[in-house]
Structure 1
Amino acid sequence: MNTSIARWGRRLGTAAALSLMAAAATAVLAGPASASGISGLDIVEDSSGVNSGPDNEAYAECPAGTKVVGAGVTNTGLGQVVVDILRPETRAVYAHAYEDGNGFSGRWSLTVRAICAPDVELINYEIVGVTSTPDSRSPKDITSTCPGGKALIGMGWALAGAGGDVGVTDVIPASDHVYVRAYEENNSATTAAWSVTAYRICASSLTGLVIRTSSTTPGSGSQGKSQPCPVGKVALGGGANIVGGTGNVVLHNLWPGSFYANQWLMSANASEDDDGAPAAWHLTLNQICVDD
């Protein structure tokens, strides 16, 4: 069941602060003259609770009269828990995670976030998943593209057939598509047939759509990135990609919809698994913002 529902947008009050990091590059996506922004977003969360089981799940449902425009997920297993599903549905977001192939001795939890917008502000809305061929090849990638005239406003993914032996490393939005890539974990490679699905959320007639991209400095251990939307825009969601840590680094936090100093924020975090990464790597955050 949902653990919290907060009303955001133009009616937003005070929210918890996240530290801001380096400046971000912005790509502007033009919209039609009749387009409009989005106001009055609802942020809904659900948590699995803390336990020591091999997997956890959570399901956040949007209020009546709204639809999902963005999805977020976080877990407390750091580099030893793999989020295999972050699936947007029309009025909810489902998340599932496994401990990796050699397990995790600690207790951990999974929390999912749905960003919900009023139905009346979403024109030509759709959610579609595109799935790769199931086999034992690694890595696998898949692209899901919005049809002509629609823009990408949100995304998600699903892995099937590999349990905690495969992790998503790239979830990269563009103006009209999302690209998802997954690798087998180096400490628990599998011979099973598995697949990756990329989910796209598309709509038309939204103004001021931008994708903001920024990266951490190459290093090791755990890395995190946080960045704001421009003033006057709201965060619909986004993705992240791990560069250089293939098979040894796990994305464990992708969290849009926080708010600080009059700006909407998104954060992402990744950590090396218990084997560590043999070389320096970095994390890139890709955030989708739209006019409020």
Structure 2
Amino acid sequence: MQHETTQGRRRIIAGAVLSTAVLITPLLGAAPAAAVPGLDRVNSVGPRNSDAKSRTAFCAPGDTVLGGGGRIGGAVPEQVGMDFMLPLVDGTGFSVTGREDETGTNETWSVTATALCAPAPAGFEVVSGTSSPTSVDEDWLTIPCPLGKVALGVGGAVIGASNSEVLLEDLRIDTGSVTVAGAEDGTGFAGNWQIHARAMCANQPAGYERLLDDSDYDSVSSKSVTVTCSPGRQVHGIGAEILGGNGQVRLTAAHAPDTTSVTASAVEDEDGFSGSWKVRAFAICAS
């Protein structure tokens, strides 16, 4: 497990390994820390078939979604992408959409959505943004939290393709911002597309920590990594990132399998990928 200081998103250059740094420190000027009471983890599992589908995990009445994630279940996740992983606009849940790529599959698969919910903590607000339309191979959008607040959770979507030809590649959480990245798949995409990103921000809660861990960096076709909160802390936010995939690796899971850990998983597309890559899991934890 690794702790990392706040920094912008960095691209992986072929053959290079991304280094990690040290334990974060509290933000200067942050409001006094307080616990986030009543945290609840809600899962919703969708049907297993070969149709494009969305699944939403709803918070209990009166709670607000602080973070969330999802995963694809099924025999051939390499042909299925999670294109939308977003909190609902009214804050009542977290929604995940899965779609097959342009070649499709006859196999069946499912979508699971996870919402991390609690009464809105001090200073809570959601900041959103959408990138300009583009036809580049890869693009990303960073959304900063207001000054003095920290990021608890991230949501993102890639918009423009009628199927999963543009991959939601990164849902990165930094201390004071989030970054969402997308990439055209290995066959490319002729049209324009956009990134939508949302940051769930609040005053820094008690015990706040941002943790990450990486899978091996190699050419194995499927990888998974889990990062676990320090003792006495629970997961408040979920993030994941593919490093080095060049649009040929799909994120198949960015979810909290329990209340104290985050798992990120990814798989090469059906044609495989000869380069080295890795998947990274982010956990925002607090007391």
TM-score norm. by structure 1 comes to: 0.85
Deviation at 1:138, TM superposition (A): 2.0
Q: Which residue of 2 aligns with 1:64?
A: 61
Q: 1:192 to 1:33 in 2, by over 3 A?
A: closer
Q: Which amino acid aligns with 1:210?
A: E
Q: Which residue of 1 aligns with 2:152?
A: 153
- Number of aligned residue pairs: give it: 261
Deviation at 1:25, TM superposition (A): 3.0
Deviation at 1:227, TM superposition (A): 1.7
| 1: CA distance, partners of 2:31 / 2:180 | 31
Q: Which residue of 2 aligns with 1:86?
A: 85
Q: What secondary structure sits across from 2:255 in the alignment?
A: strand
Q: Which residue of 2 aligns with 1:143?
A: 142
Q: 1:257 to 1:209 in 2, by over 3 A?
A: farther
Q: Which amino acid aligns with 1:267?
A: T
Deviation at 1:33, TM superposition (A): 6.8
Q: Deviations over 1:104-155 (max 9, x none)?
A: 2200000101010123xx1121112211101322211100111112110000
Assess if the C-alpha contact under 8 Å between 1:235 and 1:257 holds in 2.
no
Give the % identical residues.
Answer: 29
Deviates more, 1:225-234 or 1:122-131: 122-131
Q: 266, 272, 275: which one pairs with 1:270?
A: 266
| 2: CA distance, partners of 1:174 / 1:168 | 18
Kindly report which structure 2 residues correspond to 1:100-249, keeping only aligned pairs within 5 A, or say none. 100-119=101-120, 122-162=121-161, 163-187=163-187, 189-219=188-218, 220-249=220-249
Assess if the C-alpha contact under 8 Å between 2:154 and 2:172 holds in 1.
no
Q: CA RMSD in A?
A: 1.6
Assess if the C-alpha contact under 8 Å between 2:126 and 2:198 holds in 1.
yes
Q: Which residue of 2 aligns with 1:7?
A: none
Q: What secondary structure sits across from 1:123 in the alignment?
A: coil
Q: Which residue of 2 aligns with 1:24?
A: 2
| 2: CA distance, partners of 1:216 / 1:245 | 13
Assess if the C-alpha contact under 8 Å between 1:169 and 1:246 holds in 2.
no
| 1: CA distance, partners of 2:257 / 2:201 | 18
| 1: CA distance, partners of 2:228 / 2:166 | 30
Q: Which amino acid aligns with 1:41?
A: L
Deviation at 1:257, TM superposition (A): 5.5
| 1: CA distance, partners of 2:31 / 2:249 | 43
Q: Deviations over 1:193-216 (max 9, x none)?
A: 110111100011412211111111
Assess if the C-alpha contact under 8 Å between 2:77 and 2:109 holds in 1.
no
Q: Which residue of 1 aligns with 2:71?
A: 74
Q: What secondary structure sits across from 1:164 in the alignment?
A: coil
Deviation at 1:93, TM superposition (A): 0.8
Q: Which amino acid aligns with 2:225?
A: K
Assess if the C-alpha contact under 8 Å between 2:3 and 2:24 holds in 1.
no
User: Which ranges in structure 1 are unaligned for 5 or more consecutive residues?
Assistant: 1-22
TM-score norm. by structure 2 comes to: 0.86
Q: What secondary structure sits across from 2:24 in the alignment?
A: strand
Q: What secondary structure sits across from 1:79 in the alignment?
A: helix
User: Which ranges in structure 2 are unaligned for 5 or more consecutive residues?
Assistant: 5-22
Q: Deviations over 1:200-236 (max 9, x none)?
A: 0001141221111111112211000012100011111
